[in-house]
């Protein structure tokens, strides 16, 4: 079964054809979609889309771009909202020092709060990777997770959005080289994301009807 592990169905661009877009994805063979939350203040709208569609699930979190307007996400609030059976991940979170739309200290505090929530809930953390700055936290030992390869140490799974290109990633040393290798091996990356997403959904299916068969 194909899984779209990262879409933003609540975005305004889908206002005119959201239902058609979901229908087209299902007709094309996508069995499950995860619509990703970027504003905690808009979580209800994100959740409503998942609630209205049997094969759509959602996450809860604040994107690093939105920290300036939303504030740092309280870990306790993330954990509370993640108790909803439609929620299958924490995020989208991370750091973005490339565009710098939010103060860096606030981005880091927000990232840590999401990591704490993921630890407490056992859900995947969905990481926005724009310029490799997440690896600064990894090297400092602040997260207890490995973002580039392998199983996370404190999480059951990690879903990574690869927004950095290979040339830029190559400047991040060994961690960046692992990103390059991952990007070049697209089949392996897709297999891993599908596996991560499917296992995450399976863990939460008690709150919904059974997953569609592959």
**Mean pLDDT over all residues of the chain?**
74
pLDDT at 131: 61
Taking the C-alpha atoms of residue 63 and residue 40, their distance in angstroms, rounded to an integer, is: 9
Taking the C-alpha atoms of residue 4 and residue 14, their distance in angstroms, rounded to an integer, is: 16
Of 129, 173, 131, 123, nearest to 152 (Cα)?
123
pLDDT at 17: 96
Q: Which domains does the chain have, with CATH numbers?
A: 2-207 (3.20.20.140)
> How do residues 177-206 score in pLDDT, each as one tens digit?
444 444 444 444 444 444 545 555 555 555
> How do residues 120-146 score in pLDDT, each as one tens digit?
888 888 888 766 555 555 444 444 443
Mean pLDDT of all residues in 19-33: 94
pLDDT surpassing 80 at residue 34: yes
Share of the chain above pLDDT 90, in %: 40
Taking the C-alpha atoms of residue 118 and residue 43, their distance in angstroms, rounded to an integer, is: 17
pLDDT at 63: 96
């Amino acid at each position: 079964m194909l899984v779209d592990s990262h879409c933003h169905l609540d975005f305004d661009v889908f206002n005119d054809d959201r239902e058609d877009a979901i229908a087209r994805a299902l007709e094309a063979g996508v069995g499950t979609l995860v619509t990703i939350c970027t504003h905690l203040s808009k979580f209800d709208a994100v959740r409503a889309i998942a609630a209205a569609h049997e094969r759509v699930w959602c996450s809860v979190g604040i994107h690093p771009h939105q920290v300036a307007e939303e504030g740092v996400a309280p870990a306790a609030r993330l954990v509370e909202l993640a108790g909803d059976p439609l929620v299958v991940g924490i995020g989208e979170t991370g750091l973005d020092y490339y565009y710098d739309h939010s103060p860096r200290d606030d981005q880091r505090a927000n990232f840590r709060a999401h990591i704490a929530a993921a630890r407490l809930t056992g859900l995947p953390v969905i990481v926005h990777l724009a310029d490799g700055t997440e690896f600064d936290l990894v090297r400092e030992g602040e997260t207890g997770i490995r973002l580039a390869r392998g199983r996370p140490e404190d999480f059951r799974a990690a879903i990574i959005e690869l927004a950095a290109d290979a040339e830029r990633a190559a400047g991040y040393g060994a961690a960046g080289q692992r990103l390059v290798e991952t990007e070049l091996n697209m089949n392996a990356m897709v297999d891993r994301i599908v596996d991560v997403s499917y296992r995450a959904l399976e863990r939460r299916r008690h709150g919904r009807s059974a997953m569609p068969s592959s």
